[in-house]
Chain A
Amino acid sequence: MSHEHRADGRLRVASALLVSLAAAMIRSIDTLLILFLVALIAATVVTTKSKIPLAVLAKRLAVVNFFVLWVWLTIPINWGSFSLSETGIALAVQIALRVNVIALAVSSLLVGMSGIDFARALVALGLPQSLGTLLALSVRALVLLENTRARLEQAMRARGYRSTMSTRTIRVNAQLVACLIVHALVRSERIRLGFIARGYTDLRWPSRQHSHWYSLPVRNWILLISVAVIIVATVTLPIFFNQYDHAPLP
């Protein structure tokens, strides 16, 4: 999916926030199930169109569902009598669906969005500039430090280190953390000097989006409107069908 065909970043982030909040509030399992199916189809289509292997999406879901597994092992069980609780099972289903809806929605709505674009979008949506700047800089810092960590771990392995369940592993992990903190501090000082050398005095980067809301092409709004419509439809449809079911026969 090419960059120009993607909706405006602010609206994508707003849509992701809308889905997260809506899913957190919805209690009906029917509604959550419909939302889950819609989100699954959307995520699959978007991932495929973006030429990302589906295995990446599957891996994200696996990580998120590891927590869901914990939920299934704890909530449905009546620990006093060691029996299954119906309300517990219903709650576990609700949580499982909610967690997956949000994960799938975030995956599809924010696919291919860089950390800098994300920071810009959040600032445009009202996040204070200082936080936006911090977020954008942290994205870069993360790449730097993650490379450092990976190379340190490579060097540790090259010097015979193996991670096992032992006090040595704990000591080595502590050394690694201390090393990363020191790297971070030393680097941050160099970065600060580099900033000053380029005339940096204020928190104005990344710059806000230049286009105003009212000048955005209609297709950008289609995404947010579609997401809102889907949510409203999935909330009201089960209510509508329930009313129909309970309607007196002629």
Chain B
Amino acid sequence: MHLADGILNLPTLIGSAAGAAAGLAIGFRQLTPKTLPSAALFAAVFFIVGTLHVPIGIGSVHLILNGLIGLLLGWLAFPVIFVALVLQALLFSFGGFAVLGANLLLLAAPAVVAHYALRSTIVESLHSQRRLMLLGLCAATIGIGGASIIAMTMLWSTGQQELLNLVVLFGVAQLPVWLVDATISALVVAALGRTLPSVFQK
């Protein structure tokens, strides 16, 4: 789901960096000595989850789970995903630093939307495994769908005709990602609801 450096033009990079900075500013306010340790560990979880791959046909799909992370963290998803992306840029040279803002915006904004759209419903649904699974699926749909739409908008906004090919194919390529992410999110939300419901009640 990451966009690599070198694809987006300067206005798009600046615009998305501004959006990401705004999200970070809100997320900051929730970073306190109390929330810091769990935020750090979630950044590590998000990083590690991105390295897990599920075999699909001849290839494999990397997990993203930004919807699930958002569900659990809300606005803290911005600083947490920011840190995970910085570590990826440092350790793997993915995505570079110039496109960090864009990648942060496309992953974290839908995460926050998932939180506000679904959190209260999850708290009311802790007694029902089926409903929890459905909510996990919704979280993934908002997460992957939202990220895809934002990424496609960014690519389209560069105004380059040749990149429009990439926009469509990018969208299509996210379908297997959504499928796997949604299934795993559903199962994880159900499992957490069963064994650690307090994680949804904070």
Contact = CB atoms under 8 A, between A and B. Distances in A.
Interface of A: 16-17, 20-21, 23-25, 60, 63-64, 67-68, 71, 74-77, 79, 85, 87-88, 91-92, 94-95, 97-99, 102-103, 106-107, 110, 113, 115, 118, 122, 128, 130-131, 133-135, 137-142, 144-146, 149, 163-165, 169-171, 173-178, 180-182, 184-185, 187-189, 191-192, 195, 200-203
B156 interface: no
Given A23-B5, A131-B83, A164-B55, A75 B163 contact: yes
A173 B93 contact: no
B42 interface: yes
A185 B41 contact: yes
Interface in B1-56: 4-8, 10, 13, 24, 28, 31-34, 36-45, 47-49, 52, 54-56
A91 B163 contact: yes
B65 to A, nearest CB: 7
Interface of B: 4-8, 10, 13, 24, 28, 31-34, 36-45, 47-49, 52, 54-57, 63, 65, 72, 79-80, 82-84, 86-87, 89-90, 92-94, 96-99, 160-163, 165-166, 169, 180, 183-184, 186-188, 191-192, 195-196, 199
A75 B165 contact: yes
Contacts of B33: 195, 200-203
Q: Is the interface of B mostly helix, strand, loop or mixed?
A: helix
A95 B166 CA distance: 13
A24 B44 contact: no
A141 B47 CA distance: 10
Given A103-B96, A137-B36, A144 B44 contact: yes
Contact of B63 (A24, A67, A173, A188): A173
A106 B166 CA distance: 26
Nearest to A92: B162
A79 to B, nearest CB: 6
B184 A170 contact: yes
Contacts of A79: 165
Given A24-B99, A60-B92, A165 B55 contact: yes
B90 A63 contact: no
Nearest to B47: A142
Q: Is the interface of A mostly helix, strand, loop or mixed?
A: helix
A168 B92 CA distance: 30
B83 A191 contact: no
Given A169-B54, A171-B187, A195 B37 contact: yes
B18 to A, nearest CB: 15
B45 A181 contact: yes
Contacts of A169: 54-55
Nearest to A89: B162
A67 B6 CA distance: 11
3 A-B pairs with the lowest CB-CB distances in the bound complex, closest first = A98-B6, A174-B187, A137-B40
A21 B161 CA distance: 23
B98 A142 contact: no
Given A64-B94, A130-B31, A188-B41, 8 more contacts: A23-B6, A103-B96, A137-B40, A141-B41, A170-B187, A177-B49, A188-B40, A189-B37
Given A24-B99, A110-B90, A177 B4 contact: no
Contacts of B49: 177, 180
Nearest to A179: B191
Contacts of B7: 71, 95
Given A75-B162, A128-B28, A133 B36 contact: yes
Contacts of B10: 24-25
A20 B96 contact: yes
